Every structure is written in structure tokens, then in C-alpha cells.
Amino acid sequence: MRRNHSGFTLLELMIVLVVVAILATFAIPSYIEQIHKSRRADALRTLGQLQLGLERWRAENPCYGRSGGAGCPSTLTFTESGAYPAVPTATDSQFYSLAIPAASATPTGYVITATRRTGSGQATDRCGDYTFTMAGGVLSKTISNNASGSTTSNCSL
């Protein structure tokens, strides 16, 4: 009497595991890059909001900075109109630290930075930190401190 054994052999199971491992070597890095990309997009969106806030502020005030603050000439005191743009806190942006350095907010320009937070999931992102610089009516966007040897193509600037 012969019995039919149903099931998989050890060889068949090993082949399936190898195929799954090969697929994972491609899928996991791609997934991580997509997460980094979405966080970069969020940081750039927030930088854009800060930029628009500063432009609204400047449309009603003679300086991108606060009255009597660093960056604005000490002779330039004015009655502030409107609310100065608020910089997001760590709870607002977990992966990037956003800042408007006070000394950079002058009558003709400003600098806004988005720096990757140390220890965050974005700290190892290949694209690095973002800087928006307004000088004389011209806005420039740059990427700095990116991973050595990595390319900044597809970094959304």
C-alpha cells in the first residue's frame, strides 16, 4: 500500500525563501527612499509656507525682520503690521529643524533653513539640508551637507 504525501519539500521551501530574499533586497531600499522623499516634500512645503509668510510680512513692513531686531538696521524702527511668521516646532516637524536666522532677515532679504534632525529617520537622507535665500529680490534654493558622493538629482528643488 502506497501513501500519497502532500506538502512541500525542503528544497521547494528554500527556493521560495531565496526568491523572497531577492525581492526584499530591491523592495526595502526603494520603500525607505520613498519615505525619505515624502519627508523632504513635507520640509519643502513648510519652507514654502515660511517663505510666503515672510513675503506677506514684508509687503506690510519695511524689513523682513522684526522692528529693531537683528538684521534690520537699528535706525529702522516701525510699528509692526500683522503677525510675524511662526517657525514650526519639533512637534510640527519631527524630521527637519526649520529656522529663520534673525540676523538674516534684512530689508532686502532673508535665509530660511531646513536642517535634518540628528537621530531622526531623516538624518541619513542622501539629499541633505535645504536653504532658501532671498537676496535683492532673487530667491535661490540650495542643498547642502548631503551624504558624501551622493547625487542630489531628484531631491525636489
**Does residue 34 sit within a domain?**
yes
Predicted structure pTM score: 0.77
Q: Calculate the dihedral angle through the C-alpha atoms of 25, 30, 35, 39, rounding to the nearest 10 degrees.
A: 130
**Does residue 30 sit within a domain?**
yes
Q: How far apart are CA 152 and CA 156, in angstroms?
A: 9
Q: What strand order describes the sheet that includes 96-99?
A: 96-99, 109-116, 129-135, 138-144
Tally of domains within the chain: 1
**Does residue 111 sit within a domain?**
yes
**Does residue 157 sit within a domain?**
no
Give the residue numbers spanning the domain of 83.
10-144
Instruction: Quickly count: other Cβ atoms within 10 Å of residue 96's Cβ.
Output: 26
**Does residue 77 sit within a domain?**
yes
Q: How far apart are CA 13 and CA 22, in angstroms?
A: 14
Residue-by-residue pLDDT tens, the chain, 157 positions: 667 777 888 999 999 999 999 999 999 999 998 999 999 999 999 899 889 988 888 888 888 887 777 667 777 777 888 788 887 776 677 899 998 887 788 888 899 999 999 888 888 888 889 999 999 889 999 888 766 556 666 776 6
**Does residue 73 sit within a domain?**
yes
**Does residue 154 sit within a domain?**
no
Identity (one letter) of the amino acid at 95?
F
Grid cell at residue 110? 532673508
The one-character DSSP state at 93 is -
**Does residue 123 sit within a domain?**
yes
